[in-house]
Amino acid sequence: MSTSTPGEKETPNEKKEWYIALRSETADLIAASILILGSSWYIIQAMGFPTRGSAWVQAHTFPIGIGILAILSAIALGFFAIRRILTRQRLEVIEIHKPLIVFFGLVCTLAYAMVLNWLGFYLTSAIFTMVFGYVAGIRKLWALFALTLGFLAFTKLIFEMTLGTPLPTGAW
């Protein structure tokens, strides 16, 4: 799966578009370091699991094995990245287009999870669908309203009425 779709960023009426670019080797090295740190923590946690009886394979054996495999694969990732840098292979770049929109999209979904219990399902979904739709690029107000109403009606009909799902009602 390629991370960028070539050609799109050159559409004439979107000249001003900016995007984040990161050298793939740098990204790989960062990822490898995070993976090594995370795996070390993971292994240390595993060592604290209680052991029972004399069995060879205990509750901690499998996690420790996975942790070691993770560290090895992270080292491989880092090794290949350094090797690519040293051999000066063609420069590869990870591009994040429309970073602000992606960021707002992420924030919207996080906010959804945070307020779901407080506001209840219907209010949260109504706000979410409209805001997310706007962020995603639906600019016509009537379309946003229609979409939201349609989705809520669908939920009411299929999930609440037919399937009897207890949707969160909110704190008030």
Partner 1 sequence: MIDGLLLGFYALMTLDVILALFLGIAIGYIVGALPGLTSSVGMAVLLPFTFSMDPVAAMVMLVAIYVAGDYAAAIPAILVNAPGQPAAAITAFDGFPMRMNGEAGKALTLSILGSGFGAFTSTLLLIVSAAGLAHIALSFGPAEYFALSLLGLALVTSLASGSMTRAVIGLVIGLMIVTIGLDPVSGTQRYVFHRGLLEGVPFLPALIGLFALSEVFMMLERSLKSSGERIHSLPSPWKSMSMIYPFGKTMGRSSIIGFLIGVVPGAGATIASLVSYSVAKRLSKKPETFGSGNPEGVVASETANNAAGPGALAPLLSLGIPGSASAAILIGALMIHGINPGPMLFARNPEIPYAIFVSLLIGLPMMMLIGLLGARFWVQITRLNPALIATVVTSICLLGSYTYDNNILSVWVAVVAGILGYVLRKLDIHPAPIILALVLGSMMESNLRRGLRVSGDEFSYFISQPVSAIILFCAFAVFILPLGQSLISVFRDRKPIQDTR
Partner 2 sequence: MTSTILFGSIARHTCKLVPPAVVGAMTLGAGLHASFSYAADDYPNKPVRYLLHVSPGGGTDVLARQMASELEQILGQPFVVENRPGGQTGVQLASIVNAAPDGYTIGSTTATHIAVMNSVFDEYSLDSVDWIAGLVTDPPVMVVHDSVPFDSLEELVEEVKANPGQYTVSGTVDGSTGHIAWAMFAEAAGITEEEVRYVPYDSQGDSVTANVGGHVPIGMAWTGITRDHVEAGNLRVLGVLSEDRVSAYPDAPTFTEAGYDVDPSWQQFRGIIGPKGIPDDVKEKLAGALERVTQTEDYIEYIESSNLNSRFMGPEEFTEFVERQNEIVAEWVERLDLDE
Measured between alpha carbons, how far apart are the two ends of the chain, in Å?
45
Which residue, 3 or 51, has its beta carbon nearer to partner 2?
51
55, 68, 93, 167 from 50: Cα distances, Å: 12, 20, 45, 39
For residue 138, what is the DSSP state? -
Q: Which of 53, 57, 88, 142 binds partner 2 (CB under 8 A)?
A: 53
Q: Does 137 bind partner 2 (CB under 8 A)?
A: no
C-beta of 101: minimal distance to partner 1 in Å?
5
Report the site for partner 2 in 87-116 (rule: CB under 8 A): 114
CB 39 within 8 A of CB 70: yes
Q: Which of 20, 101, 117, 141 binds partner 2 (CB under 8 A)?
A: 117
Phi, psi values for residue 20, rounded to 5°: -85, 135
C-beta of 149: minimal distance to partner 2 in Å?
27
C-beta of 12: minimal distance to partner 2 in Å?
40
Q: Does 171 bind partner 2 (CB under 8 A)?
A: yes
30, 76, 161 from 7: Cα distances, Å: 28, 32, 47
The residues of the shown chain that bind partner 2, judged by CB under 8 A, are 34-35, 38-39, 41-42, 50, 52-53, 70, 114, 117-118, 164, 166, 171
